[in-house]
């Protein structure tokens, strides 16, 4: 049993066992979430360094090239390449697993945005990866520096310049939403946010402006320097000569990826359709009633039934704002997992309290009291005890949905 401290400062035991006695699958899920986050952060660091490099296009193509050894070449060393490839593989696979594991399509808009932008990243980036990474492995003479890249995008295949812009927007928004939803719950965000929030906007905007200015410079150089134009044309011809192989690689990669995405959504859909005849009930304080399929979390049932229910972290088990007191039917809920235990301890949850986003209703019915009003924001998540004391003193009647 895991010890925690409730709001009156008394130590108590959380039901569900210690971390080591939790079922293996639960511990795995928790480890996978952390690994997905870590891999996402590695990818985001790579993308951020890439964008800084692109932003230098506002100075000159030469400045972009001069900064490249510092900003990009570390990722092309063997350890850098292994780290980046492993992060991409691990994050992509765990991202698809997270989709397959969902049991309901009742997602917040942020979650939909996060999933859709994550999924479109691969098709949007595939041509860029083939051009800048894969072909130079096949042809050692091919040097995809910024001059070649900008000339290729703005002169030879302008449609890919548009794809590139879309890719930057999709990858950046996806990564930054992930980073923000994780960091915003931490007390350190109050200070960290002052630095990071402007960067979230400045970095992609300057990178896109650098990409446009660099493109203009490359076009001017193509017109003014016949030797450079001939060298670029020769490189493009080498790439064009390998078009059949590159097309085959692209088709293979996209088919495998598309297949995995279909499997993930197939599993999700089969979960949604399974058991849809059988209904389970949640009775809330204040007379509200929610209904759903067995296996859905209490939060999923609330959202699907239109019952207002706080869920600041979007159901990731991090914020604690969805906490409920289970008044009856606790045995009908799934056991507590390690993430839930940790968050319950952090918010000083009392005995018999559960996170609605983690507790799944397996039996017929459960009666709960929502302990946070539906309107809570990150303030309640960062300082659960202080916030609860302040809010119950000022608006006691709104503490239920
Ligand atoms: C360079 C590309 C990418 C970057 C920088 C990136 C970054 C991130 C970050 C920082 C997070 C938050 C981590 C977390 O909360 O666990 C995240 C979450 C996620 N990513 Fe990515 N990601 C990228 C590509 C992808 C791709 C290709 C996929 C799809 C296969 C994907 C699917 C997901 C999913 C499903 C989530 C979690 C959403 C949820 O919590 O339900 N990501 N990503
Ligand atoms: S919604 Fe954040 S912990 Fe449940």
Domain map (residue ranges) of the chain: 24-272, 278-398
pLDDT at 393: 60
Residue 36 CA: nearest ligand 1 atom is 16
Closest residue by Cα to atom 23, ligand 1, is 118
pLDDT at 14: 39
pLDDT at 328: 95
Ligand 2 and 347: CB distance under 6 A: no
Cα(325) to centroid of ligand 1, in Å?
32
Cα(370) to centroid of ligand 2, in Å?
12
Q: Could you give the angle at the alpha carbon of 174 between the alpha carbons of 170 and 179, nearest 5°?
A: 150
CATH assignment of 24-272?
Answer: 1.20.1300
User: Where is 323: in which H helix or E strand?
Assistant: strand 323-328
Cα(131) to centroid of ligand 2, in Å?
42
User: Where is 393: in which H helix or E strand?
Assistant: helix 384-394
Ligand 1 and 115: CB distance under 6 A: yes
Phi, psi torsion values for 64, nearest 5 degrees: -60, -45
Ligand 1 and 182: CB distance under 6 A: yes
Ligand 1 and 98: CB distance under 6 A: yes
Ligand 1 and 29: CB distance under 6 A: no
Residue 311 CA: nearest ligand 2 atom is 1
Cα(261) to centroid of ligand 2, in Å?
26
280-284 and 365-370 strand pairing: parallel
Residue in the block written with tokens 């942020």: 110
pLDDT at 276: 78
In whole angstroms, give the CA distance from residue 274 to residue 271: 5
Q: What are the residues whose beta carbons fall under 8 Å from the beta carbon of 401, sequence distance 6 or more?
A: 284, 286, 288, 302, 307, 308, 309, 370, 373, 374
Residues comprising the chain, all counted: 401
Q: Distance of CA 141 to CAs 69, 136, 137, 235, Å?
A: 18, 7, 9, 9
pLDDT at 392: 61
Residue 323 CA: nearest ligand 2 atom is 4
pLDDT at 22: 55
Ligand 2 and 317: CB distance under 6 A: yes
Please identify every stretch of the chain with a pLDDT value under 70, giving residue numbers as ranges: 1-26, 389-401
pLDDT at 401: 36
Ligand 1 and 126: CB distance under 6 A: no
The structure tokens listed for 129 are 């990866």
Cα(183) to centroid of ligand 2, in Å?
14
CATH assignment of 278-398?
Answer: 3.10.20.30
pLDDT at 18: 42
């Amino acid at each position: 049993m895991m010890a925690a401290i409730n709001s009156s400062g008394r130590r108590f035991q959380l039901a569900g066992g210690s971390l080591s006695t939790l079922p293996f699958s639960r511990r795995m899920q928790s480890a996978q979430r952390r690994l997905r986050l870590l891999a996402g952060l590695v990818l985001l660091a790579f993308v951020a360094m890439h964008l800084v490099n692109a932003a230098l296009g506002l100075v000159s193509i030469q400045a972009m090239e001069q900064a490249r050894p510092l900003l990009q070449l570390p990722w092309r060393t063997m350890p850098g390449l292994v780290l980046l490839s492993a992060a991409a593989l691990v994050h992509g696979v765990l991202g698809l697993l997270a989709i397959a594991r969902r049991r309901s399509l009742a997602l917040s808009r942020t979650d939909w945005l996060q999933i859709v932008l994550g999924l479109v990243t691969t098709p949007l980036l595939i041509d860029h990866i083939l051009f800048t990474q894969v072909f130079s492995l096949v042809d050692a003479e091919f040097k995809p520096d910024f001059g070649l890249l900008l000339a290729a995008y703005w002169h030879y295949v302008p449609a890919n310049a548009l794809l590139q812009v879309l890719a930057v927007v999709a990858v950046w928004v996806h990564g930054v939403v992930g980073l923000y939803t994780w960091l915003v719950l931490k007390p350190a965000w109050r200070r960290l946010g002052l630095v990071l929030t402007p960067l979230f906007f400045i970095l992609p905007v300057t990178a896109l402006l650098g990409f446009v200015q660099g493109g203009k410079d490359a076009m001017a150089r193509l017109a003014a320097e016949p030797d450079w134009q001939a060298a670029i044309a020769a490189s493009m011809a080498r790439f064009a000569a390998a078009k059949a192989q590159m097309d085959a690689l692209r088709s293979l990669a996209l088919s495998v990826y598309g297949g995995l995405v279909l499997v993930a959504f197939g599993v999700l859909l089969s979960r949604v359709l399974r058991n849809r005849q059988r209904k389970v009930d949640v009775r809330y304080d204040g007379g509200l009633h929610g209904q759903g399929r067995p296996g859905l979390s209490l939060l999923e049932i609330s959202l699907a039934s239109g019952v207002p229910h706080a869920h600041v972290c979007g159901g990731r088990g991090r914020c604690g704002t969805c906490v409920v007191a289970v008044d009856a039917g606790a045995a009908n809920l799934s056991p507590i997992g390690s993430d839930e235990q940790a968050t319950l301890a952090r918010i000083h949850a009392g005995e018999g309290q559960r996170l609605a986003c983690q507790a799944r209703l397996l039996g017929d019915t459960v009666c709960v009291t929502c302990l946070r009003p539906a309107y809570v924001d990150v303030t309640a998540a960062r300082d659960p005890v202080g916030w609860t004391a302040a809010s119950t003193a000022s608006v006691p009647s709104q503490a239920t949905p």
